[in-house]
Structure 1
Amino acid sequence: MESVDLEEHFFPRGVRQKYRLGEFGAGPFVPNNLFTTHWAEGPGQVTGRSAWSGATIVREDQYAIQLTKEHREELIDALTAFQEHNYDLLDINKENFHLPTLGNVLERVSEQVYDGEGFVLLRGLNPQEFTEEENIIVASGVSAYVGGNFGRQSPTGSMITHLTTLKGIETQAGYYSNQFQTFHNDHACDIISLYCLSPPASGGQVRLSSASKTYQDILETRPDIIPILADSNWIHQTARQNPLYIRRPLLYQTDDGKPFFCFSRAALLEEFRTHRLEGLGLPPLTRTQREALNIVETVANKNSIEIGLQSGDLIFINNLAVLHGRREFEDNEIAKRHMLRLWVHNPERAWKLPNSIKVLRDCLYMDLPDIPGWFIFDPMDPDPTVLQEVTSDNGSCGTLGSSK
């Protein structure tokens, strides 16, 4: 793979043109007001299925679907037909990955993920039946029914991320380590598709918490924190890219008034970023901002649930409706954690976002045919220098093209 200049990939050219951003090398290319959000008075009370807590979701059958023998046979038939036609992975869709019965179930999954509780677990696949490439085809084919567009997950254009421990490569990225992860969002993607090829020996539970419930509880107990979270003066680093950081809020609301968060502590706090940005003079968070950030973590934790993913589990998480994190974990010689992550988008169901965050989502999903994109079939496939660049990313605007 050819090396990529990261400074040219924070906003792809097509995104810069669409939003009338400047060119690199011609002075500041991001308008000062691009990410400014004028927070209207937020909803006084959030109701509905999205405002759940751990006290209301107490049984697995409230969010899990067990695949039947017929569903698994359909998947194998769809995989076989896809391979026989030699389709490109980037072109996978409902038509060329036909699931006549399971497809109807997945339509309801899409509705629940976008407009319901915000997450659904499919249980019953067997990754050991498939090769590395076939597992990616299966995960992509099923995900295409929830959201048909796939997002770029790195500046080098990878459409998939292998979440596993990579020893021998210097990286601070949480998804390549076994460290505990606080509640966060994955950049500005719509839906996270997470396929468990192998769970760890112990730990590693996925932690989920409703964004609506988190907002509601903060509004009731610390309403003074809401305008701080919605202020546009939060410094988010951009992982060695140009610009080095952007200012934008943590808290937003959709065009129809749904509150949601979009942030990661790793992009906000100095202790997470000194390994690569030490001495570059990024403005630190204020004491009030640190307090607000800690309140979000505390409230989200109080209302959260934990799910221990098994081999073959495929979970869909609405990245904006649900904050997610992870318990620390341990591998051994027999059990090593390995997940496949896709970022998917359903244009028909997608939330209507304010322009200040929509530009970041567009970076991930816009059609940029002049820039190649690809799938990593094995986590150790790429050249180590390319892999190290990917691991230092917080979830960026990358590239798109052919998977072959």
Structure 2
Amino acid sequence: MNAVTPDFVPEVLETACEWTAVDVADPSRWTERLSPAEVAELEAAVAHAQGVSDNFLEIGKAHFPLPTLGPRLKQIENELIDGRGFVLLRGLPRERWTNDQMSLAYWGVGMHLGKPWPQNAKGHVLGDVTDHGKAPGDPTSRGNEIGLVGLDFHCDGSDLVGLMCLQTGVSGGLSAVCNSVALHNRLVRERPDLAAELYKPQPFDYRGEQAPGKPGWYLMPVFSRLGGRLFTRLIRPYILASQRHADAPRLTEKAVEALAWMQDMAEGGEYSVIMDFQPGDMQFINNFHVLHGRTSYEDDRAAGKIRHLKRLWLETEVLADRPSQFVNRMGTHWARKLTISRMDAAQEKVGQ
């Protein structure tokens, strides 16, 4: 946890990783298109992995050979950690691959980018982002379970977060990313007092997924520094929701002001870009440098047009060290039983 003393003065960090909307306006800068040869290599790797095991948890990098695409993914991993911080991979043949083939290809690509990280108390290491029927006001609901409404800019709990589009809805559901490095540095330059406040531990709501007998909230700074690196953990709705717990620390006026500043600046458009997911697209984001969100969307269940993404949380090998609060949760109750979440396009659970 950050050791923030009364005389702590935050510093501008990792300026090479800053970008504005103008810098990333051209989609070709962040879209990596798979070649026919790479798609064929992925198809062969899927077939090979299926011959090893039908349990994704038993499929690692070694079981998913990518002799040509693998080195390219390593370059992408480096760019995610030390560069722009986000990428869109396009080219998986969704029109002819089953959900399981798509999910296994996505899992295999993920294993070349890092190690899986549990996403919730169910131990899901491959999750589903779709309408689970939970209302936004439900104190146990999480972003991947809430359908239709837009989601504020936020970051998840791992080094990298990946999303793969299985299916789009009728309309909307655009993905948005925002450069949190640029936000941090601007806040440091303009309001160092607010930046310093966000280096202090803030209460986050556990959304009902805490260990038995433990508080319904936890403490974590929004900003952390290790060496010259910036680490960000921002989920404003969860921070605000922590105040429903009587035993949670109260947010200071400066913290509330700083969170509002971050929200307003992220939504302002100067440091963000919107992309339209197509079926088969894979997006990977550096959680510490890039916030993500989405626009509202519309489903049509009768027509089978239901927005459905798969999600990975990954621990990258490129990042050699990280603050203790960002260590993989393999030692917590979230990892007691790792599972694969499987939901079909009609949102019916077909297995765990």
TM range (shorter): 0.7 to 0.9
Alpha-carbon spacing, 1:238–1:353, altered in 2? closer, same or farther (3 Å): same
Letter of the 1:292 counterpart: A
Contact 2:127 2:342 in 1 (8 A): no
The correspondence for 2:221, drawn from 249, 272, 277, is 249
Shift of residue 37 of structure 1?
3.2
The correspondence for 2:76, drawn from 84, 92, 109, is 109
Letter of the 1:183 counterpart: F
The correspondence for 1:184, drawn from 154, 160, 182, is 154
Alpha-carbon spacing, 1:262–1:288, altered in 2? closer, same or farther (3 Å): same
User: Does residue 253 of structure 2 align to residue 287 of structure 1?
Assistant: yes
| Structure 1 match to 2:63 | 96
Q: Superposed, which structure 2 residues align to 1:40-55 within 5 Å?
A: 41-44=9-12, 46-48=14-16, 50-55=17-22
| Structure 1 match to 2:337 | 372
| Alpha-carbon separation, structure 1, partners of 2:103 and 2:83 | 27
| Alpha-carbon separation, structure 2, partners of 1:382 and 1:267 | 30
Name the SS for the 2:62 alignment partner: coil
Contact 1:132 1:377 in 2 (8 A): no
| Alpha-carbon separation, structure 1, partners of 2:41 and 2:127 | 26
Letter of the 1:291 counterpart: E
Letter of the 1:376 counterpart: S
Q: Superposed, which structure 2 residues align to 1:4-403 within 5 Å?
A: 35=1, 37-38=3-4, 41-44=9-12, 46-48=14-16, 50-86=17-53, 88-147=55-114, 149-167=115-133, 172-176=141-145, 177-187=147-157, 189-232=158-201, 234-240=202-208, 241=210, 242-254=214-226, 256-270=227-241, 280=246, 282-301=248-267, 302-332=270-300, 333-346=303-316, 348-350=317-319, 352-355=321-324, 357-358=325-326, 361-363=327-329, 365-366=330-331, 371-378=336-343, 380-381=348-349
Count of residue pairs the alignment pairs up: 335
CA RMSD of aligned residues (A): 2.6
| Alpha-carbon separation, structure 2, partners of 1:42 and 1:289 | 15
Deviates more, 1:194-203 or 1:325-334: 325-334
| Alpha-carbon separation, structure 1, partners of 2:237 and 2:150 | 12
Q: How does the TM-score come out when normalised to structure 2?
A: 0.87
Contact 2:14 2:228 in 1 (8 A): no
Relative to its length, the structure with more strand (as a share) is 2
| Alpha-carbon separation, structure 2, partners of 1:128 and 1:269 | 42
Gaps of 5+ in 1: 1-34, 384-402
Contact 1:42 1:257 in 2 (8 A): no
Deviation readout 1:67-126 (Å, 9 max, x if unpaired): 111111111111111112326412323321111211121111111111111111100112
| Alpha-carbon separation, structure 2, partners of 1:185 and 1:351 | 20
| Alpha-carbon separation, structure 1, partners of 2:290 and 2:260 | 17
Letter of the 1:100 counterpart: P
| Alpha-carbon separation, structure 1, partners of 2:73 and 2:99 | 23
Shift of residue 226 of structure 1?
1.1
Contact 2:89 2:282 in 1 (8 A): yes
| Alpha-carbon separation, structure 1, partners of 2:176 and 2:149 | 13
Letter of the 1:57 counterpart: V
Alpha-carbon spacing, 1:349–1:198, altered in 2? closer, same or farther (3 Å): same
Contact 2:203 2:249 in 1 (8 A): yes
- Matched residues, percent identical? 26
Deviation readout 1:299-354 (Å, 9 max, x if unpaired): 223311111111110011011111111111111235321000011112x3125222
